[in-house]
Structure 1
Amino acid sequence: MSDALIDSLTAAVAARPDDVALRLHLAELLVGAGRLGEAIGHAAQVLARDPANEAARRVMASALPGGTPDPAPPAAPGVDWAALEDEFSGVVPPRFAPAGDEPEPVRGDADRAFDVERATVTLADVGGMDEVKQRLELAFLGPLRNPKLRTLFGKSLRGGLLLYGPPGCGKTFLARAVAGEMGAAFISLSIIDVLNMWVGSSERNLHDLFDAARSHAPCVLFLDEIDALGHKRSQLSSSALRTLVNQLLTELDGVGGGNEGVFVLAATNAPWDIDAALRRPGRLDRTVLVLPPDETARATILEYHLRDRPVAGIDLRALAAVTENYSGADLAHVCESAAEFAMRDAIATGEVRMISQRDMTAAVRDVRPSTEAWFATARSVVMFGNSGGDYDDLAAYLKKRKLL
């Protein structure tokens, strides 16, 4: 499936969030591309508006692990199923488990179904984002490095921070770099790790993930696409999804087990869709706007994505100057497109050549910044939904760009 098509549809959905047909088409393409977490997020938003939407249910079933199977055909009259089970017992498992059978219990962290990583990147590997790094230093890293000052000022090691901004600008990479900077464990949680078709299983999955973070403290628990996991309950018609939001609130409060040493970082492209209770003090009470990379960072990102390709005569500064508002993902796509141009010529002529400045310039013209649709939506939010001042930093940026 073409990433360019998916990116275009994603931008279109961001500009027209109420277009159910368009969102479902994007979700189906995401399932076909193997991007199940994103597909589930879009299907969940459709079901929040219309719980009876059959197309959204089919997408959700196909994307979730162990989705609803097709019903078994009725048994033919006169078939001795018991005899057939005995005959093929060495090949086919029994249709029904014997009464009294219990699943094997979980035996410690090694038997769990999620990964606890050790990040190898640090904030030094993140290009630009100086303001974001400073905010992270004050919120998390400074107190961790200075235990005496932390004790003196009564600063707890627990905390939650929300990273928001346009898609493809490095929020996930930034969270991983924070874990690497702290030398802490890293657990990444997406909606596909939580949602389950059985009643109560989603809440248990969420509890188990938080328990794993507590047992590996200090640990960075990264909640990706938090708007899908913690959508506004007032907009949810599904009681199961509302219960899941309640469970997330309980885990963030550390009820039944303190969250000391658990640093919760969440990321979203749509903070205005998050339940207000998630952003109360003690939960995700601090926000950081992650913007598209500045000119210096764009040059660094381009250099990174060209480092293993045959290039000659590339002017990174000139390219960085004409790619304002391009996200990190957009810049990676530019490098990929330039490589395709050079490879196409090599196939046509039979002569291999280097990737040139001409290829890069053509790729920049061909790849449009994916952040434009997001900023169009953000502008409306700032104009009509910022009475509490939650998006003052975003408003300042839009005014600086003369978009407000």
Structure 2
Amino acid sequence: MAKTRIRTRMLAAAATLPLLAGVAACGSGGDGGSSGAGGSEVTFWGWAPGYEEAVAQYNAGHQDAQVKFEKIVPGSKGGYAKIFAAVKAGNAPCLAQVGYESLPSFVVEGAVQDVGKEAAQYQPQYGEAAWNAVKVGGQVYGIPVDMGPMALYYRTDLYAQYGLKPQATWEEFAADAAKLRAANPNGYLSVFNPDDPWWFAGMSAQAGGGWFGTDSKGWKVSLASDPGTAKVAGYWQGLVDKGLVKSEQSYTPDLYKDMQDGTLAAYPGPVWFSAILEQNAAQAAGKWAVAPMPRWQGGTNSVGNDGGSSTAVVKGCKNTAAALRFANWMSTDAAAVGTLVEKAGIYPASTSGTSVPALAKPSAYFGGQPIFDVFKQSAAQAAPWSWGPTMTQTASDLTDAFGAAVASHGDLTAALGTVQNKTADAMKAKGLTVTTG
């Protein structure tokens, strides 16, 4: 994997982050025990498909160091709140699945612990971007599992019908959106999902954008003033205003219906969307394919990421060595990574993981195409990106603001200003020093 990837540019000294009062380390009710491997048991909370099977594989081959997996609801749907509550109560697990976008929030909340010294032995097994994704303020909080490189999903039958080919640039994409609408008033080239802030972040990253930064004085929030983000907002604003793309909620039966019946011909999305598409648009099997993301004319040859998770070490874990040993195993063992690829459609974060046989398999759903070849290229061109410490709130505010803007034919750029102000206020409420602009 190339060394120019997502870089998590957080606080220069994480020790200066004020932690929330009342967040206690795990006591005797937590995941206690020796930090050594012998006879230890580690508890792991997560939700992604394939995790439970990977844990079972580990337990079968490591009788002296077992992992107890507990499935929780996805983080944004309550899983993170459960972890925070468990930390405060002193009965948290040793390990938890934490999305990269939420890791800074876990640091601010005092819910994870620095394991940089213990984890250093595993760093050579990951690319620079993957390892930086589990770092905040120079400290390491877990082991990376996967990355979320984006690509263009497209219907080969519809592209052939309308005389299109996978678009090399976003300018071509807009022109083809108009061409398709002219040919079929009931069809659209693609869709804009106002309720998917992570997708919008990936698009902004590709355009050279950035929402958060830090310096010696604290945090800077620039959702409204960042040129790359403004470019993306203006681009999709134009497509929505002209009726050239459909606006609808993400990950809904209506969206999947449109992806099956020919209403939508393309979708720029992350690698893991391949599994979602296959599961929810089965009637379109053999019709979808994957191509590299369109690029901005005159821009960098970069691609954004949407998603990716760490196996984070939760505050108070006493089995740190055993926890990290398992976490690294799950991200590097060929059988375990293969399980995660097949069950969850992940793109592995470890360098060895990118060579597992499951990634080379032709996909029957995608017409026999080995789609991970495209995502491997995207992963090598990933744009740098930093997340902020209140992303759950930021994501919620962005969803509300974009939804209102689309519903009222309003301005996405103005919505970004609203979200920027709310984000700055939320960060200040945590005692952080924040500037905007």
- Normalised by the length of structure 2, the TM-score is 0.26
- Normalised by the length of structure 1, the TM-score is 0.27
The structure where helix makes up a greater share of residues is 1
**Structure of larger gyration radius:** 1
Which structure's relative contact order is higher, taking Cα pairs within 8 Å and 6+ residues apart? Answer: 2
